[in-house]
Amino acid sequence: MIEAFLAVAAGLILLAWSADRFVEGAAVTARHFGMPPLLIGMVIVGFGTSAPEMVVSVLAASQGNPGIALGNAYGSNITNIALILGLTAVISPITVHSLVLRKELPVLAIVTMLAAIQLWNGHISRLDAGVLLGVFGVLMTWAIRQGLQEKTDTLGTEIKHALESREMPIRRAVFWLITGLVLLIISSRLLVWGAVAIAQGFGVSDLVIGLTVVAVGTSLPELASSIIAARKGEHDIALGNVIGSNLFNTLAVVGIAGMIHPMSVDPAVLSRDMPVMAALTLSLFIIGYGSHGHGRINRVEGSLLLACYTGYTVYLIGTTFG
C-alpha cells in the first residue's frame, strides 16, 4: 500500500511538471512555424493542459478501469469550475470581456446536456464515443474559424504576450515537447496503477478515486495556469482554460476512452456526479453572462464555488466510508 501512495504522489508531481513542459515546448514550436497566437491558445495550450486527463483516462479505459476514466473526466470538470475557478476568483476577481469565451459558455451547457443524455442507458458504446468526437471536431473547427476572424479578440492578444515571455531556441522547445509527452505517459501509468491499488486496498470504487485524487491531480496544469493568468490580469485565459478544458474532457477525453474500450457507467454518475457537474456548469453560464456587456466572478462568488467543491468532496468521502 505504501508503494501505491508513493506511486500516486510521484505520478501527480511528474504529471504536472511534464504537462507544463509539454505545453511550453508545443506553444513555442508552433509559434516558430508561424501559427497565430489565438490558434496556439485554443489548440496547443487547450489540448496541452488537458493532456493529463486524456492520457490517464485512455490508459484507465484500456486497462479495464472505466471508473477512473469517467471519474477523471467528470471529476476534472467539477474541479475546474468549483475548485480552480473558485480559488482563482478569490485570489484575483475575474472580469471577462472576450466574445469568443462568451459564445462558448452556452455551448458548454449544451455539451453537458448531451453527455447526460448519452449516459442515460448506463453504457458508453463506440457509437456514443464517435458522436462525442464528431461534436468535438465540429466545435473545434467552429471555434478556430471564429477566433481567426476576430482579429481584435483580447484572448489572442493575451496569448501573444504570454508567448513573448517564453522565448527559447527551437531545439530546446522540440526537446521539451517530446520529453514532456514521454513523461506524461510514464507519470500517467504510475498514477493509474497507484490509484487502482489504493481503491482495491481500501475497498472503494475506482470511480471515487477518479473523482477525487486523480481528478485533482490531472487538473493541476489548469490550476497553475489559471492562477498565474488571473494574477497577471489575463482574465480571459483564466476562464478560457476552464471552459476549454471542460469541453475537451466531456467530448474528447470520454470520446477517445470510449472508442478504445466501451464502458459501463456506474449509476452514481447519473444520480450524483452528473447533476453536480450540470449545476456548476449552469452557475458558470449565469455568472459568465453578468451584466453591462461583461461578466465578473468576484471573491464572494469564488468562495461559494469553493464551498460547493468542499461540500461535494465531503459528501463523497462520507458516503464512501460512512
Q: Does domain 2-321 have CATH number 1.20.1420.30?
A: yes
Q: Which range has the worst mean pLDDT, 20-24, 153-157, 265-269?
A: 153-157
Q: In terms of Cα–Cα distance, which of 20, 41, 15 is closest to 30?
A: 41
β-bridge mates for residue 95, sequence order: 296
Q: What is the pLDDT of residues 49-70, one digit of tens each?
A: 677 888 888 888 888 888 888 9
pTM of the full structure: 0.81
Residue 120 has pLDDT above 90, yes or no: no
Q: What is the pLDDT of residues 200-243, one digit of tens each?
A: 787 888 888 888 888 888 887 777 777 777 776 666 667 777 88
Asked whether 214 and 55 are in contact (CB, 8 A), the reply is no
Distances 39 to 140, 160, 175, 228, 246 between C-alpha atoms, Å: 10, 10, 22, 20, 18
Residue 294 has pLDDT above 60, yes or no: no
pLDDT, mean over the chain: 80
Q: Which pLDDT band, with edges at 50, 70 and 90, does 305 fall under?
A: very high
Transcribe 149-188 into DSSP letters: H-TT-HHHHHHHHHHHTT---HHHHHHHHHHHHHHHHHHH
Q: What is the pLDDT of residues 273-284, one digit of tens each?
A: 999 999 998 887
Task: Return the amino acid letter for 25.
Answer: G
Q: What is the pLDDT of residues 243-263, one digit of tens each?
A: 888 888 999 999 999 998 898
Residue 167 has pLDDT above 70, yes or no: no
Higher local confidence (pLDDT), 25 or 120: 120
- Whose cell is 466572478? That residue is 297
Distance CA(284)–CA(7), nearest Å, equals 34
Top-ranked range on mean pLDDT: pick from 170-179, 264-273, 278-287: 264-273
Q: What is the pLDDT of residues 86-113, one digit of tens each?
A: 988 888 887 766 555 567 778 888 999 9
Q: Is 318 exposed, middle or buried (0-12, 13-18, 19+ CB in 10 A)?
A: exposed
Task: Return the amino acid letter for 92.
Answer: S
Helices (DSSP H) in 119-261: which residue ranges?
Answer: 126-149, 154-164, 170-202, 206-209, 215-218, 220-231, 235-247, 254-260
Residue 151 has pLDDT above 60, yes or no: no
Higher local confidence (pLDDT), 54 or 148: 54
Q: What is the pLDDT of residue 45?
A: 64
Q: In terms of Cα–Cα distance, which of 244, 225, 238, 219 is closest to 93?
A: 238
Contacts of 234 (CB under 8 A, 6+ apart): 158, 161, 162
Q: What cell numbers appear for 319 in the block?
A: 458516503
Distance CA(242)–CA(239), nearest Å, equals 5
Q: How many distinct helices (H) and strands (E) make up the chain?
A: 18, 4
Distance CA(110)–CA(292), nearest Å, equals 24
